[in-house]
Amino acid sequence: MRRLMIKREKCKLFAIWADYWCVLNFDTDNFPPLCTKGIDCQDCDEYCEQISSNKEQLFIESSDEIGNRKLIEPIRAVRIKNGKTVEIEIDDQEHEMFILFEAGRIVSNKITIPAGCSDVSYSIKTTGGIVKSLNITVG
């Protein structure tokens, strides 16, 4: 096993309070489409799927017309707070990673972590001003 270290550079934008998620080996094509009824689907009157989180886990869940929620798929992800570094244990295989900003579902560039036995580290930088122009880069 080896270590993947990810440092979230401290930012002073509004994103300072929001959590970012380091997502491993997940295809962004599997994300459900954004709900047309509202940001968080709480007022939907039909079936929909959304990305949800609790303090330690990210997942895709469904909600039906009467508000019943069901876990569809867990997403291997680790929460990263502003200015903090996380350490994730990974095997020696190749992995794909990106950073997800939960408010607005902004996704960073994808990084391929090469196969090998050496530890790897990356840094997350946030630029921009408002959600639509926010840019998250992993390098």
User: Which residues make beta-bridge pairs with 59?
Assistant: 52, 74
Residue 127 confidence (pLDDT): 80
Enumerate residues 6+ apart whose C-beta is below 8 A from 42: none
The residue length of the chain stands at 139
pLDDT < 50 positions in the chain = none
Q: What is the pLDDT of residue 138?
A: 81
* pLDDT, position 50: 79
Pairwise CA distance, residues 60 & 1, whole Å? 28
